[in-house]
Amino acid sequence: MSELHQKVSDAYLAERFAQASTVEATLDAGGLLFGWKRGRAGRFTGLRVVADIAEQRIRFRDFHDGRDGLLAGHDVWLEPVDGTPDVRRDARSRFPYRGRLLRWDELDMMYFLGYALWNYFTFPALLHRPGVDWTQSGDHELTAVFPADLATHCREQRFRFDPSTSFVVEHDYTAEVFGSSWAHACHLTQDYQVSDGFPFASRRRVHPSHPVKGGAMKTPLLIWADVHEFKVG
């Protein structure tokens, strides 16, 4: 573990966080990419989620037509009101383009939003998760290499930290479900708050990565999310 890795772990109370069971959060979200793929259904207000910490599993309350949605690894499903659930195994295999260039259905959206939020909300536990390889790649930067069985944006991702707080301020990745060769994103995490001692970013904004300078381009705003509640239990 590098010195930076240890500082980040301490700032996020990662060891204590990893001993908890779940993260519960309420958020609003939307943006250009969600509108492109889902139209009006790509805007979420008061979306409630419960993410397991030890395993990759997240539940969306009342995600579609009054039904809860779930993600477990690369599988997604909608719980039934009556009858059989709508299940999609290995949802990643359908991306990026197999009929999904212009539109996503509700299970496509649930897969992307599910793995993304699970990664964001359980970040402190990922710092010590077996199979995730962390190396220091700059004075205030860590690079993570993720295992194939963990649903995430791409295998290699970079995290930059505020030198005064050791909190994430920029997260660089390629959103391969949109396009593995061009969907390079810079995710800005801002307005940190504290819940039961644990810090969390209440404001998240995703922009294209600048092709020359790196960092976030000012426009367009691809995805935004505002987190209103965050509870570790």
* Number of domains, the chain: 1
List Cα–Cα distances, 200 to 124, 131, 147, 214, in angstroms: 10, 24, 24, 24
Q: In the prediction, which pLDDT does 100 show?
A: 65
Whether 149 is covered by a domain: the verdict is yes
Whether 232 is covered by a domain: the verdict is no
Please tell me whether the peptide bond between 220 and the residue prior to it is cis, using omega within 30 degrees of 0: yes
Whether 57 is covered by a domain: the verdict is yes
pLDDT 10s digit of each residue in the chain, 233 long? 899 999 999 999 999 999 999 999 999 999 999 999 999 899 999 999 999 999 999 999 999 988 999 999 999 999 987 777 899 999 999 898 776 667 899 999 999 999 999 999 999 999 999 999 999 999 999 999 999 999 999 999 999 999 999 999 999 999 999 988 899 999 999 999 999 999 999 999 999 999 988 899 999 999 999 999 999 99
Whether 126 is covered by a domain: the verdict is yes
User: pTM of this prediction?
Assistant: 0.96
CATH code, domain with 136? 2.50.20
Whether 233 is covered by a domain: the verdict is no
The whole domain housing 223 covers 3-227
CB under 8 Å to 136, separation ≥6 — which residues? Answer: 2, 3, 4, 5, 142, 143
Task: Report the candidate in 171, 152, 148, 135 with the shortest Cα–Cα distance to residue 58.
Answer: 152
Whether 14 is covered by a domain: the verdict is yes
CB 188 within 8 A of CB 33: no
CB under 8 Å to 129, separation ≥6 — which residues? Answer: none
Whether 120 is covered by a domain: the verdict is yes
CB 209 within 8 A of CB 216: yes
CB under 8 Å to 227, separation ≥6 — which residues? Answer: 25, 26, 27, 200, 201, 202, 203, 204
CB 36 within 8 A of CB 24: no
CA dist., res. 216 & res. 8, Å (int): 22
Whether 125 is covered by a domain: the verdict is yes
